Amino acid sequence: MELKLKSLIGEKNRMNHGLQIQENYSLRNYNTFNIDVSAARFVELISDDDIKKFVSQVKVLQPIYILGGGSNVLFLNDFRGLVVSIATKRIQKIDETESSIDLECAAGETWNDVVSFCVKNNYYGIENLVLIPGTVGAAPIQNIGAYGVEIKDILINVEGFDLDSKKLLTFTNKECEFNYRSSIFKTKLNGKFLITKVRVRLSKEKKYQLNYRALNEKFGNQNIESISIQDVANYIKQIRLEKLPDHTKLGNAGSFFKNPEIDIEHLEELKKQFKGIVYFAAATGNYKIAAGWLIEECGFKGKRIGNVSCYEKQALVIVNHGGATGNEIKEYAEKIQSAVKDKFRISLIPEVNII
């Protein structure tokens, strides 16, 4: 969960009821860019009871950052306030019918562990989201998505605490106001809501989303009964592993930019100039342009400046070759934005949260 707010915690080194606060705590292992920054203070919440204690003592006075898996954040400098890591773990069946099953997942669960659990048990609808890094709590904030599926397609509701009123609230799918890589938790409630649980509904009957081109080419001509959920998940794993770097070897946060959206007039102008432009229809009636294609056309694929480059196999991924600072990565991203704006009259918006 990537949220910002202002807060004060009672005592200097220890909150009441025994929540231990670490000082000058390295965040290098808590962000997938592997940026060597520190938090002035750090606390890890490993149980629902820890979360309740924490929320009960929050006062809105000084900086706090609530961190999920750190897979969608770029720290520019040391964080001068308190970084809070949610580490609650639980996957629980809460309802089941002949055709569906509802799961309640704790915010600190690793997202891919939930996907793996569902694939193992033949619960359909989540398999396209395999290998997406991060935690369950971060997933609805960003409305994570891949290969034609977003979390909004399976989410029932989100539970958590309003950090001003300290009340436990539940948001239905509709109330989450999902949009492309966004939700109410990233807009209106940014820094005001702490997600603790996410509930999803999966199908017990075979239902695949195979409209994405690579999946359609692989499975489109096959009888659905001959396709297993493991087949789909494994093929998507293969694609991701071929295109995306291992963040433990090359620091990165996956796709750095969102796919930009333009109207039909702009698209037609670009099609006249660039015959190979990669685009697809958006739900709004406009068209999304593949950000990776735009970046590659501007010559950034594999282009290295200092310790930063776009990944040689996927231009949409900015990587840290080791030793880069957050500001160096930000400056590299800004060069990309400028080049794309000049060449295509399109503004790229970061998907990564820059802190």
Q: List residues with catalytic annotation.
A: 181, 255, 351
Q: What is the dihedral of CA 131, 311, 68, 114, to 10 degrees?
A: 0
Can you give the C-alpha Rg of the chain in angstroms?
A: 21
Rounded-to-integer distance, Cα 227 and Cα 230, Å: 8
Rounded-to-integer distance, Cα 140 and Cα 293, Å: 27
Q: Strand 79-86 relative to strand 59-67: parallel, antiparallel, unpaired? A: parallel
Q: Strand 155-162 relative to strand 193-203: parallel, antiparallel, unpaired? A: antiparallel
Rounded-to-integer distance, Cα 7 and Cα 348, Å: 32
Rounded-to-integer distance, Cα 111 and Cα 344, Å: 35
Query: Which ranges in 69-164 belong to alpha helices (H)?
Result: 111-120, 138-142
278: closest CA among 298, 259, 253, 254?
259
Query: Which ranges in the chain belong to alpha helices (H)?
Result: 48-57, 111-120, 138-142, 213-219, 229-243, 264-273, 291-297, 326-344
Rounded-to-integer distance, Cα 84 and Cα 192, Å: 14
First-to-last C-alpha distance (Å) of the chain: 13
